[in-house]
Structure 1
């Protein structure tokens, strides 16, 4: 099944303002958004849920840890590249970014507890012990915010894979083709 990338002109009517909003915010329309526009309901739900996740009490870097843990687990090449770029712009260390991309333990004890908890929630469907997560200084509220992040970004990771969304040039520097050493497919 082939999915086309929509523009504001070609998108279903309900998706046009959503695409326009993304373009205003990012300066371009990422290919996953262009392809999710085929279903204005999916695109709207993802954008709304991502915005709600952004308002949680998890810090911006902590939210990226949740997203990157999910993205590598479900092998969403686009999500890993895009969120590596976001972490780069937030001045995250190369060690943190590479650790998330490679699925290896993180040096930061708190972020590692978050990565492990997120991975466990994904793998067990939420039947997860919270003791280590709480001991790292997170709260029960944070545990539920992790579930929110997983839910929001599962929509986009699955849609990106289903639609075959190619990587936009803006994220090429952070291309990811699976677990590997370094931040590029070649290095």
Structure 2
């Protein structure tokens, strides 16, 4: 895609309904807006919808590492280099082992070194492959790892949230921004 279809908007160039969101992001990020957000601002509804869904997902009862497993499963499945790059430092900040990070970043289905987190990954893929009709066996496998029915639905929330992000990033051709040092 070219920048003419999905420009890197600034708070001044963004459609009016995205400006407040863009300004808030620029304040939080030292004056810059990540390219993925700047391009998604072409549709304020998509930008704001993603951010609202992400806030809901981040406040869910799934623990932070489990949420990141959902995100990285979506990112690698949908080949979103932006999400992989952005969420790798998040995994590290949560204390994820180098082996876990490498397995989550690898395309394909390399088993995760943590059984519980591997269960999250398998359940996420099962929900995607079956369009939510995971079946009692798959659900029971997930629940047997200490997760709840609520967590199962929160995985669905994460899938929806990161479907928006990964598909938008790919459609707009968003580049990976240099991460702050």
| 1:15 alignment counterpart | 18
Q: Deviations over 1:36-92 (max 9, x none)?
A: 000101000000000000110011111100000011001111011111121122221
Of the candidates 79, 95, 108, which is equivalent to residue 114 of structure 2? 108
Aligned residue among 86, 102, 105 for 1:82: 86
Shift of 1:26: 3.9
Q: Is the 8 A contact 1:70 1:122 kept in 2?
A: no
The answer to whether the Cα contact below 8 Å between 1:67 and 1:153 also exists between their aligned partners in 2 is yes
* C-alpha distance in structure 2 between counterparts of 1:112 and 1:91, whole Å: 16
Task: Using the TM superposition, give the Cα deviation of residue 24 of structure 1 relative to its aligned residue in structure 2, in angstroms.
Answer: 3.1
CA distance, structure 2, for counterparts of residue 72 and residue 115 of structure 1: 11
Matched, 1:156 2:159: no
Unaligned runs of 5+ in 2: none
1:39 to 37, 40, 43: 43
Q: Indicate the larger mover: 135-144 or 96-105.
A: 96-105
Backbone CA RMSD of aligned residues = 1.5
Separation in 2, partners of 1:26, 1:63: 23
Give the counterpart of 1:168 among 154, 157, 177. 177
> Which residue in 2 is equivalent to 1:121?
127
Residue 33 of structure 2 corresponds to which residue in structure 1?
Answer: 29
How many residues end up aligned between the 2 structures? 172
- Structure 2 Cα separation of the partners of residues 26 and 65 of structure 1: 25
Q: Give, in whole Å, the separation in 1 of the partners of 2:81 and 2:152.
A: 26
Give unpaired runs (5+ residues) of structure 1. 174-187
TM, length-normalised to structure 1: 0.87
Provide TM-score, normalisation by structure 2.
Answer: 0.90
Task: State how far apart, in whole Å, the 2-side matches of 1:49 and 1:25 are.
Answer: 19
